[in-house]
Chains A and B, each alone.
Chain A
């Protein structure tokens, strides 16, 4: 029990530090939101008379407060579940923006991560099992795919399948030229799946290699363990040795990595969302950072921090449960 209490205490301190950093780091960025917003508006077609006053009103109030007062307000608002109003997407509340983006990110990036993991583990196990045969060539080919820059892969796929062949759409999470926003209909669901295919494919292509390589190497070292040799000597069927003896043990380290990467799913995929105009969290983060939109930045970072901490905490607990050594060692 003491172990769990200490872990909880540790995570509470980490959480406090992360949330405070969340507040301070955006304010260390060069430039102030006012000038950035003005310069941006000017670049995109001039500033109508009147808007100038507005921006001053909107951003001016913050100048009167000291950093400490802002910090206290920040915590106060946080406890009320109020993350403030986005300046770049004025007047949408940050909670609403994140709420709209989160399902898309979780749905697409989450599914793609799971597919990539399952595929990587399965193929990696196979490559380790049949090492030295043609299956082993999966390793160099997938790691090569992974080493290609993600945006380049995405652009090539778009050019090939969306522009030249026109099999898949170029932008959006659904057909934005037909639907006036999300709705509950089979046509819409179909549209969502159709639009998710290409983005998901790019994520899988660019991440499957890592899982595959790790799994293959673990498999090879597991296969040289004595208990595998014993199992083979006892005359067990190869399939049973493969699944129950080798693969199950080899997959453990990958599972730990998988837990962490699930936590990072919430951060979305910055480049994918940009290239496909996909409405996700990563996209919000880029917008916020580019425009010094403090409220939005804080909100997005908070959600990501919480998700990663929660994933780590969960992994910690599971590991403590699975492996007694981690509990009693200290």
Chain B
């Protein structure tokens, strides 16, 4: 331990020395970045230059395999945002305009079939080659990346790219501008014929077979320095368009157990990490760490809801789902299973606080927070259910008997399922909680062979619940029970309602807020009534960061980006803003 103390003391001294000399450079460099970025919100670093290495855990486990190809499976976190950037960076937590990154502005034509993007000028790849419109076109049109809805991307001049679509594509704005990484054509086009092997030993050809492990060429604030099985390091890109980052080097470590990561946090050995810590005070009490909780991903009960597509079990009756919905004590679930860190959920799946404007008039703002057994009884009795001798409701002499599964080892979900079992019992509904392996869980939900599963919904990346409505609630995004869902299809409940399908289609064709609101009202009316997913809570997402040694982190007051260390491209934006304090 002594050794570490001396080392950090030495580093402090070194940082103090270098910060004096670097201040001048920092002023001119950072100032330049400010002028270029200026209004459009380019990252402007805070704090002073520092040599103290920023240690990050982004959820990687050992062994780490060097892979910085954004098209490959297992790409490391630094690549998404730290090395490769998107045209814009969207804020997942606030209803604000996206931050301009490699582009400066964008414009849709009236019917949503053409998107014109103006690129930032003066950007260079970290190998010194200028960044051009051709790179952007390549990033969308190469075989690995080209989305099916995009018909053409063309460079109309040096700094303008026009995307054209066959159908209105307003709904794909985020996918194009906010989640497609821009790669250098002059490097990537040389690896299109790379060959490798797939999992079964068959030949694999194309960009996907390339690991991009040596000196990846990107536009982002950092460049890869070294990689090993246990960790990888990065150094600041001196020619970054937003000004050279103030933190000279980063180290991403691999950690296998959450407990180890928590221990490393409490002993001050990690500077930035996003992970579940039941007692955040244990970490923050030392005063060195800041902490934000930013819930975005809903936790729900998936119900296999649609008899027409082959679902079986009593939960296919909407009355049973409605009764369960009011029988659940969400307050108790949050307190006991999620240690009070989760947030209230809206049955409309709009994120409360961010998407409030999208909740239609007359819709309940949040799901009931307390149990109401009497209301559950009324719903069931109205639907023709009667209580049997054991106190459970049933029909035609057969009591309702549902199995609720959750993944073994996800302790918060396991205890929430147990609580639901008890709460349902109090309302006369028999639910049995059991645990399954992760593999069985993944299998059950894509095949539709389940009654109730405790599961998550992916929160939308922009202030608009549209993506959830389309991918989780429409008939286009599901399959018959027994047929596995295709990638990108998330409608595990097999819910298929013509009115909802039509309303989602209408919403996708317009950019007009009023028209969208009207379509959403229809969607919400149905999903709040039908409850194919019974909403429970919005999951906590806890991020800890070292506020003693670094400045520039997102805070409750200035949540300029979604803070998790594993999230691209926002983590890259945050890296560009950090600076040292020591």
Contacts and interface: CB of A to CB of B under 8 A. Distances in A.
A44 B59 CA distance: 8
B267 interface: yes
A146 interface: no
B70 A62 contact: no
A91 B209 contact: yes
Given A35-B446, A70-B200, A100 B229 contact: yes
B267 A166 contact: yes
Interface string B53-90: 10100010111010100111111010010000000000
Interface centre among A33, A55, A87, A89 (most CB of B within 10 A): A89
Interface of B: 1, 53, 55, 59, 61-63, 65, 67, 70-75, 77, 80, 144-145, 147, 175, 179-181, 196-202, 204, 206, 208-209, 211, 225-231, 233, 251, 253-257, 259-260, 263-264, 266-267, 269, 437-440, 442-443, 446, 456, 458, 461, 484-485, 487-488, 564, 566-568
Contacts of B226: 180-181
B438 A49 contact: no
A257 B253 CA distance: 39
A58 B71 contact: no
Given A49-B179, A52-B488, A85-B199, A167 B204 contact: no
A182 B1 contact: no
Q: Which 5 pairs of residues, A with B, have the shortest CB-CB distance?
A: A181-B228, A31-B439, A62-B200, A180-B226, A50-B145
Contacts of B254: 176, 277
Given A48-B180, A87-B73, A180 B201 contact: no
A182 B228 contact: yes
A179 B232 CA distance: 10
A77 interface: yes
Given A55-B73, A62-B198, 19 more contacts: A36-B439, A39-B442, A41-B73, A45-B77, A58-B208, A59-B199, A82-B201, A85-B197, A86-B65, A155-B259, A158-B260, A159-B263, A163-B267, A171-B256, A172-B230, A180-B225, A180-B226, A181-B227, A293-B199
B75 to A, nearest CB: 7
Contact of A166 (B1, B71, B196, B442): B1
B179 A180 contact: no
Interface centre among B63, B197, B204, B566 (most CB of A within 10 A): B63
Nearest to B55: A177
A103 to B, nearest CB: 11
A31 B67 contact: no
B568 A48 contact: yes
A89 B55 CA distance: 22
Contact of A57 (B70, B208, B269, B439): B208
A271 B546 CA distance: 30
A162 to B, nearest CB: 7
B229 A30 contact: no
B175 A54 contact: no
Contacts of B208: 53-54, 57-58
A65 to B, nearest CB: 7
B458 A46 contact: yes
A117 B267 CA distance: 35
A51 interface: yes
Contacts of A34: 487
B180 A49 contact: yes
A79 to B, nearest CB: 12
A91 B72 contact: yes
Given A30-B439, A35-B484, A50-B144, A57 B568 contact: no
Contacts of A155: 259
Nearest to B7: A178
A130 to B, nearest CB: 41
Contact of B63 (A30, A100, A170, A177): A100
Interface residues of A, number: 82
A139 interface: no
A15 B71 CA distance: 39
Given A31-B439, A273-B256, A287 B199 contact: no
Contacts of B65: 86, 89-92, 97
Interface string A54-96: 1111111110010000100110010000101111111110000
Interface string A255-291: 0000000000000000001111101000110010010
A283 B199 CA distance: 19
B206 A42 contact: no
22 contacts: A45-B77, A45-B564, A46-B461, A49-B147, A52-B487, A53-B144, A54-B71, A55-B487, A77-B201, A84-B197, A84-B200, A85-B198, A85-B199, A91-B209, A158-B259, A162-B263, A163-B267, A171-B255, A176-B230, A177-B53, A181-B228, A274-B257
Contacts of A276: 260
Interface of A: 29-39, 41-46, 48-62, 65, 70, 73-74, 77, 82, 84-92, 97, 100-101, 155, 158-159, 162-163, 166-167, 170-174, 176-177, 179-182, 273-277, 279, 283-284, 287, 290, 292-295
B566 A45 contact: yes
B440 A48 contact: no
A82 B269 CA distance: 39
A167 B2 CA distance: 10
A53 B253 CA distance: 28
B73 A37 contact: yes
Contacts of A61: 198, 200, 202, 204
Nearest to B490: A42
Contacts of A41: 73
B137 to A, nearest CB: 15
A180 B198 contact: no
Contacts of A295: 199-201
Interface centre among B144, B251, B488 (most CB of A within 10 A): B144
A294 B439 CA distance: 14
A59 B1 contact: no
Given A88-B74, A167-B1, A181 B439 contact: no
Contacts of B458: 42, 46
B256 A277 contact: yes
Contacts of A294: 199-200
Contacts of B74: 87-91
Given A43-B456, A61-B204, A283-B256, A51 B75 contact: yes
Contacts of A273: 256
Contacts of A171: 253, 255-256, 260, 264
B442 A54 contact: no
Given A44-B59, A57-B204, A50 B70 contact: yes
A32 B443 contact: yes
B223 to A, nearest CB: 14
B458 to A, nearest CB: 6
A31 B201 contact: no
Contacts of A60: 198
A158 B230 CA distance: 20
Interface centre among B59, B145, B200, B257 (most CB of A within 10 A): B200
A292 B263 contact: no
Contacts of A92: 63, 65
A41 B229 CA distance: 20
Contacts of A283: 62-63, 256
Contacts of B197: 84-85
Given A53-B144, A82-B201, A176 B256 contact: no
A108 B72 CA distance: 34
B73 A54 contact: yes
A260 B302 CA distance: 48
